[in-house]
Structure 1
Amino acid sequence: MAIDTTVLVIGGGATGAGVARDLALRGCDVTLVDRGGLQEGTTARSHGLLHSGARYAEADEAGAEECIAENRTLRNIAGAAIADTGGLFVQLAEDDPDYFDAKRDACERIGIPVEVLDGDEARAAVPDLAAGVERAMHVPDAVVSPSRLVAANARDAADHGAAVHYDSPVEGIRVADGEVAGVAVGGALDETISPEVVVNATGAWAGDLAAMAGVSVEMRPTRGLMVSVEHARLGTVLNRCREPGDGDIVVPHEREAVLGTTSVAVEDPDKYERADWERERVREECAAMCPPLADAARVREWWGVRPLYEPDEADRGGRGISRGFFLLDHADEGVGNFLSVVGGKLTTYRLMAEATADAVCERLGVDEPCSTAAEPLPGADDPDTLDGFVADIGGPGPSDSDTAGR
């Protein structure tokens, strides 16, 4: 016998869990399913940087504005899922000073707080910085625990009536009379779900899921490597102040530093090469900012796949700096109750969820406004409580397995 639900959200990463939470808080009947443990995909395999918007400021003003706004919101609602490390954009001798100036000016124009430090001041703040650092900008970057964030969103969704199922992969979608009529879910759930609206929040796998419904989502996933090394002295995020490239971000954890990342197109987000040159490139480039990283002992490494949307990335010539998100309505392809939310970044997951929930509620005639920007996540101020939620969804992912749920 089929399970009836008003909204079926497929994909339990940050965006999908955020959509389920938003809709549940508005009183909607929601079911969330994921093929594995929640947040096992892109979310669990990020570098865990909560962007200030400075990375995008000079090239994507709208994206940067979204980042700084959501940065502030998440600090207010996510508590111990956020570590307030701050961040530095560092200029080395070989880096273009005009790029530094353009980024600083853009940050000031957008309203991203920025403080310029000369090389000596930067090294006083971060003693391990390279002698070749000529100046730096301090910005309000931070570090987010993806596992805690997703687990808290899923718990709040469940506390407000949502049905949350992990280890429950979608095995087929039946379309009849221009709408999704049934979704076959295997694994732990092993049921057919009959929804009024379906939200495809599967990230890099959005194209595969869309194809099950006979519609198209053109994804362009790229892989990226993160290497975590022993280094407890960093304390702040490091960003290389140059055009985005390999090995230009270092993210501090309690006893480790996460070095990232690369960007290589992949055909299949489940099956792709892991190349030795990526390990060498990431280590070399990050050590240019912080020399002790060159010889720091490797603790662990992981690859993630970015959920990039092909039309946007193609317009930007490949490694686009934009990480904007897109909400796709598949009614013009003949499936009137199927939406896909694609692109974006971890920092803006809540905004993506709000936009998606707004569209769903408009379709359903639900007038309740979004409250997720003001309503704290459950357990936000208690790391132990958050880590209990993490254990409930199958444990932490690789991005924060050294800190979450220990």
Structure 2
Amino acid sequence: MTIETDVLVVGGGATGAGVARDLALRGVDVTLVERGGLTSGTSGRSHGLLHSGARYAEADRVGAEECIAENRILKEIAGACIRDTGGLFVQLSADDPEYFEAKRAACEDVGIPVETLDAEEARQRVPELAADTERAFEVPDAVIYPSRLVAANAADARDHGATIHPHAPVEDVIVDDGAVTGVQVGGAVDDTIKADYVVNATGAWAGEFASMAGLDVEMRPTRGVMVSVEYDDLGPVLNRCRDPDDGDIVVPHESEAVLGTTSVPVRDPDDYETEQWEVEESIAECAAMLPPVADASEVRTWWGVRPLYAPDEDERGGRGISRGFFLLDHADDGIDNMASIVGGKLTTYRQMAEATTDLVCDTLGVDGDCRTADQTLASVDDPEQLDSLVAEFDGQGPTDQDVVGAE
């Protein structure tokens, strides 16, 4: 028997769950399907940094403004999904002092709070910082636990009427007369879903899903490695204050530090090689800032795939600093009831979801304002309940494996 819904969201990462939540809060009947457990794609395989925007400030003002705005919102609504650690941008002796000055000035111009520390003050914050630390500046970076965040969004969506289906892979998309008329879903659903509108929130897999509908969404995914090591005395996030490169971020967890990352193009986000040099490079470069991690015991290693949009990558000429998002209304391509949301960052998932939901509601004639920035997410004051939701949605990813459900 065919399932009917107003909106079908395909993709159960942060953005897809965020879209489902936003739609449900606006009174729209929404169904979400994810081929694996929730968070099984890019969202659950990140380094878990909640950006302040400082990383983008001098190169992408708009992106930096988006990050600091969303950083503040998530700290208000996401409770135990967030660990508010603060962050440091660290200049070592080999780093360009003019880059430090430019980034700090750009942060101040954007409105990102900045406090400059000399070398001694920086080592008071992080006693084991490198001996050749010249100075640092402090920004409101934080740590985000994506498994909890996605589960909280999905649960809040469900509490407001949404239907959430993990382990429900899309097998076919039926297009007729300029519209998607049905989506064949296997796994836990094993049925056809008819929807008035379809949202492609599959991240790095957006091109594959779009092709099922006869659309061309050109993605250019890159892989990046994360290495978690035993280290329980860090405090703030550490960012190397230089042009973005391999191994320039260290993210603190309670008893571990996550070191990252690399950027290597891949053809297939499901089937790609991984190289030991990426692990070694990330450890060595992060150890330049924090020497003890060079000899720390490795706990786990994972790779994630960034959902980069090819036209943006072409315009910027390869690895760049911008990680903006792109909302593609496929009415422009001849299919009136489908959109793809691509690119972006975990930090800006809620804003991406809001923009997508605005488009869907405008198309369907739904009158309702976004409330996701003001309404606290489900169960975020109860870590145990959050972790139960993660388990229910089979949403455990490697990013926060040491925290979620830990004894």
In which range does the TM-score fall when normalised by the shorter chain? over 0.9
Alignment-mate amino acid for residue 347 of structure 1: T
SS at match of 1:258: strand
Tell me by how many angstroms 1:395 deviates. Answer: 4.3
CA distance in 1: counterparts of 2:304 and 2:128, whole angstroms:
28
Question: Structure 2: which 5+ runs fail to align?
Answer: none
Residue 122, structure 1, aligned to residue 113, structure 2: no
Deviation per CA, 1:270-323, whole angstroms, max 9, x where unpaired?
A: 000100110110010000000000000000010000000011111111112111
CA distance in 2: counterparts of 1:112 and 1:119, whole angstroms:
21
1:2-401 superposed matches below 5 A: 2-401=2-401
CA contact under 8 A between 2:325 and 2:343: conserved in structure 1? yes
Alignment-mate amino acid for residue 88 of structure 1: L
CA distance in 2: counterparts of 1:394 and 1:271, whole angstroms:
22
CA contact under 8 A between 2:167 and 2:188: conserved in structure 1? yes
Q: TM-score, normalised by structure 1?
A: 0.99
Tell me by how many angstroms 1:330 deviates. Answer: 1.1
Alignment-mate amino acid for residue 367 of structure 1: D
CA distance in 2: counterparts of 1:37 and 1:391, whole angstroms:
9
CA contact under 8 A between 2:39 and 2:395: conserved in structure 1? no
Tell me by how many angstroms 1:247 deviates. Answer: 0.2
Deviation per CA, 1:316-373, whole angstroms, max 9, x where unpaired?
A: 1111211100000112222111100000000000000000000000011111100000
Deviation per CA, 1:65-103, whole angstroms, max 9, x where unpaired?
A: 000000000000001110010000000001000000000
Deviation per CA, 1:21-64, whole angstroms, max 9, x where unpaired?
A: 00000000000000000010000000000000000000000000
SS at match of 1:95: coil
CA distance in 1: counterparts of 2:52 and 2:24, whole angstroms:
29
Alignment-mate amino acid for residue 230 of structure 1: E
CA contact under 8 A between 2:40 and 2:395: conserved in structure 1? no
CA contact under 8 A between 1:229 and 1:297: conserved in structure 2? yes
CA distance in 2: counterparts of 1:405 and 1:336, whole angstroms:
43
CA contact under 8 A between 1:5 and 1:194: conserved in structure 2? yes
Instruction: Identify if the C-alpha distance between structure 1 residues 344 and 158 changes in structure 2 by more than 3 Å, giving closer, same or farther.
Output: same
CA distance in 1: counterparts of 2:8 and 2:223, whole angstroms:
28
Deviation per CA, 1:121-156, whole angstroms, max 9, x where unpaired?
A: 101110010001100010000000000000000000
CA distance in 2: counterparts of 1:155 and 1:80, whole angstroms:
15
CA distance in 2: counterparts of 1:12 and 1:320, whole angstroms:
27
CA contact under 8 A between 1:395 and 1:405: conserved in structure 2? no
CA contact under 8 A between 1:4 and 1:195: conserved in structure 2? yes
CA distance in 2: counterparts of 1:36 and 1:4, whole angstroms:
22
CA distance in 1: counterparts of 2:176 and 2:271, whole angstroms:
32
CA distance in 2: counterparts of 1:257 and 1:121, whole angstroms:
21
Find runs of 4+ consecutive structure 1 residues off by over 4 angstroms.
Answer: none
CA contact under 8 A between 2:125 and 2:235: conserved in structure 1? no
CA distance in 2: counterparts of 1:391 and 1:72, whole angstroms:
28
Count residues in correspondence.
406
Q: TM-score, normalised by structure 2?
A: 0.99
- Percent of residue pairs bearing the same amino acid type: 70
Deviation per CA, 1:131-185, whole angstroms, max 9, x where unpaired?
A: 0110001000000000000000000001111010010000000000100001000
In angstroms, what is the RMSD of aligned CA positions? 0.6
CA contact under 8 A between 1:52 and 1:139: conserved in structure 2? yes
CA contact under 8 A between 1:396 and 1:405: conserved in structure 2? no
CA contact under 8 A between 2:260 and 2:282: conserved in structure 1? yes
Question: Structure 1: which 5+ runs fail to align?
Answer: none
CA contact under 8 A between 1:182 and 1:194: conserved in structure 2? yes
CA distance in 1: counterparts of 2:185 and 2:362, whole angstroms:
27
Alignment-mate amino acid for residue 63 of structure 1: G
